[in-house]
Structure 1
Amino acid sequence: MESVTSNVLLPRLMKVNYENWSIQMKALLGSQDGWEVVQVGFVEPASTAGYTTAQNKLLKEMRLKDKTALYMLL
């Protein structure tokens, strides 16, 4: 995900704007390739022993997507 937070005002969740907020966040996270991690979830593996270089690269990408999505939601 590219750094979008410096260019876009992130919507703030309040008691009265959930519907609008959720639509905006879904669109924002989708545009940043982060909606999948919200929808499916991310579970940190207990061990990465035996992972190939490609698997480690994918894990690093998923960690980044997870943390970026969490940051946007918070």
Structure 2
Amino acid sequence: MEESSLTVAPSILDGDNYETWAVRMTVHLQALDVWEAVEENYEVPPLGANPTVAQMKLHKERRTRKAKAKACLFAAVSPSIFIKNHEN
């Protein structure tokens, strides 16, 4: 059976719908396999000297996962809330 890559984005956080938005966003990020980057809030340290291929692959995966999660979150917040929270 062919796997579907369709994921439905959650609604936009507008300040009045946080509870439902948070549940939907969690599931959305889990479906995209990027929830770990949010839940663990890890930093991706720079690669050391002479990294192995496996270390380079893991570094790229973790960096990409974190960027995808951030992009999803930024896209799902209304501009007024984004600006207000981004300035703090």
TM-score interval, normalised by the smaller of the two chains:
0.7 to 0.9
CA displacement, residues 15-55 of structure 1 (integer Å, 9 cap, x when unaligned): 11000010011000001111111000231314432321101
| Runs of 4+ off more than 6 Å | none
Structure 2 unaligned residues grouped into runs of 5+: 75-88
Cα distance 1:37–1:27, how it changes in 2: closer, same or farther (>3 A)? same
Q: How many pairs does the alignment contain?
A: 70
Structure 1 unaligned residues grouped into runs of 5+: none
- Provide the residue aligned with 1:72 in structure 2: 72
TM-score where L is the length of structure 2: 0.69
Task: For residue 39 of structure 2, give the secondary structure of its aligned residue in structure 1.
Answer: helix
Percent of pairs identical after alignment?
Answer: 36
Task: For residue 50 of structure 2, give the secondary structure of its aligned residue in structure 1.
Answer: coil
What root-mean-square deviation, in Å, do the aligned CA atoms of Structure 1 and Structure 2 show? 1.8
- Provide the residue aligned with 2:24 in structure 1: 24
